[in-house]
Amino acid sequence: MSELRVFDEADSARARVHTRDFDTIRRELGEVGIRFERWEANRPLTPGAGQEEILAAYEGPVRRLMEERGLQSVDVLGMVPDHPQREAMRARFLEEHTHSEDEVRFFVEGQGLFCIHKAGRVFFVLCEKDDLISVPDGTPHWFDMGPRPRFTAIRLFTSKEGWVARMTGNDIASRFPRLE
């Protein structure tokens, strides 16, 4: 189940908001310009489904979002606990960074923790199956897939080259808990 915890940027010990209620999560995130919604597949996916099958199952919402936002590219990324580069990939995303385009992710299965630093607060958004999150361009954030990651996500991009991370140099991510 999706979860939102909101912290003051100076206090990683106590969440000001802690909820698993979808409508509350969507409202809290919407107030700071972060899109959060749920999608459903138009057909069941077979175990181990590949990119073509996954994109076909979510064709309607993917097409709608691409047209609405002028997105140019889409792919599917999967991560499993025994991936040989999981530690390096996790470390790469754990530093606060921004992008020159929105970071749009839809979780087909599994989970990941988006940590968004905005308006003097840090929003911990645990995204799970059927969750879509869109972090606006220029928004400082980090992503934690956990030490034994398992997820499949649809990624949507404005640029055909995909996103490029720009590190902020802020060490705030090191002061907040990790997904364990």
Instruction: Give the helix, strand, coil percentages of the chain, each rounded to 5.
Output: 20, 40, 40
> How confident is the model at residue 96, as a pLDDT?
98
> How confident is the model at residue 160, as a pLDDT?
67
Residue 163 pLDDT exceeds 80: no
Q: What is the mean pLDDT of residues 154-171?
A: 87
Confidence of residue 161 (pLDDT cuts 50, 70, 90): low
Confidence of residue 159 (pLDDT cuts 50, 70, 90): confident
141 is in an annotated binding site: yes
97 is in an annotated binding site: yes
d(Cα 143, Cα 115) in Å, to the nearest integer?
A: 6
Q: For the chain, which domains are there?
A: 3-160 (2.60.120.10)
52 is in an annotated binding site: no
d(Cα 42, Cα 59) in Å, to the nearest integer?
A: 8
Distances (CA, A) of 75 to 13, 106, 116, 156, 170: 36, 11, 23, 7, 30
- Beta strands 103-118 and 121-128, pairing class: antiparallel
Which pTM was predicted? 0.95
Q: What is the pLDDT of residues 41-66, one digit of tens each?
A: 999 999 999 999 999 999 999 999 99
67 is in an annotated binding site: no
Confidence of residue 164 (pLDDT cuts 50, 70, 90): confident
> How confident is the model at residue 135, as a pLDDT?
97
Q: What is the mean pLDDT of residues 139-149?
A: 97
Q: What percent of the chain has pLDDT over 90?
A: 94
